[in-house]
């Protein structure tokens, strides 16, 4: 994925945190969806997903529906829902099917939605302030799978090496929004 698309997905996640006044971890994706009038539906209730799929977003009757594979563990489901929110908030291309519209499956779209989900669920500036750098710490704070936390840990290493924090005003605003949470976590240590 090119850097412009990466930055767009990252910035969209920051804007989402700001717009929905998220100020603590774990991020409650269901609240974001509800506030956006996006329905979240367990696949066990509708049986629309193929067995190898974690989630899908459909657009029908002027409304978005996120269907997720509720047979997967809850931490994986949270990432899937955040990923699907990424498709919606990033404005990925919808295509028609006989029954409803779904997002076109393009590699860049999937990568962008993954970046959005990662940065929404595990905002780097908050992890940086809390000195949460290990897979286990990230997974526990953010309520994400060990696999997702491992990817976040790898990216955190890069960010810490570069030490280029708060160059974007959106990141600074996210950091300020999380101040009370960060201070309470620091006091707990």
From the centroid of its chain, how far is CA 39? 16
pLDDT value, residue 35: 98
Check pLDDT > 90 for residue 94.
no
Check pLDDT > 90 for residue 184.
yes
pLDDT value, residue 13: 98
Domain count, the chain: 1
CB under 8 Å to 19, separation ≥6 — which residues? none
From the centroid of its chain, how far is CA 126? 14
pLDDT value, residue 139: 98
The answer to whether the CB of 139 falls within 8 A of the CB of 163 is: no
Separation between Cα atoms, residue 139 and residue 150, nearest integer Å: 8
Check pLDDT > 90 for residue 188.
no
Check pLDDT > 90 for residue 10.
yes
Separation between Cα atoms, residue 25 and residue 152, nearest integer Å: 15
Q: How, if at all, do strands 63-68 and 55-60 pair? A: antiparallel
**What's the chain's average pLDDT?**
94
Residue 81: what are its φ and ψ, rounded to 5°? Answer: -65, -45
Residue 95: what are its φ and ψ, rounded to 5°? Answer: -120, 155
Per-residue pLDDT, averaged over 116-131, amounts to 98
Per-residue pLDDT, averaged over 93-100, amounts to 75
Domain of 141 in residue numbering reads as 3-188
Question: What's the pTM?
Answer: 0.94
Two structure tokens written together for 86 = 């990424």
pLDDT value, residue 173: 98
Per-residue pLDDT, averaged over 132-147, amounts to 97
């Amino acid at each position: 994925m090119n850097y412009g698309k990466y930055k767009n997905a990252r910035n969209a996640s920051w804007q989402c945190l700001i717009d929905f006044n998220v100020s603590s971890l774990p991020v409650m994706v269901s609240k974001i969806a509800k506030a956006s009038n996006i329905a979240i539906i367990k696949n066990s209730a509708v049986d629309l997903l193929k067995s190898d799929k974690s989630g899908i977003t459909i657009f029908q009757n002027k409304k978005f529906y996120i269907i997720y594979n509720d047979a997967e563990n809850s931490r994986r489901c949270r990432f899937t829902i955040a990923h699907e929110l990424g498709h919606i908030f990033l404005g990925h291309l919808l295509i028609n099917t006989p029954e409803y519209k779904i997002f076109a499956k393009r590699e860049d779209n999937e990568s962008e939605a993954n970046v959005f989900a990662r940065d929404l669920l595990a905002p780097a500036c908050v992890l940086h302030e809390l000195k949460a750098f290990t897979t286990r710490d990230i997974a526990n704070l953010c309520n994400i799978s060990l696999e997702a936390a491992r990817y976040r840990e790898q990216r955190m290493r890069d960010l810490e090496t570069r030490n280029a924090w708060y160059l974007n005003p959106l990141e600074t605003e996210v950091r300020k929004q999380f101040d009370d949470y960060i201070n309470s976590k620091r006091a707990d240590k």
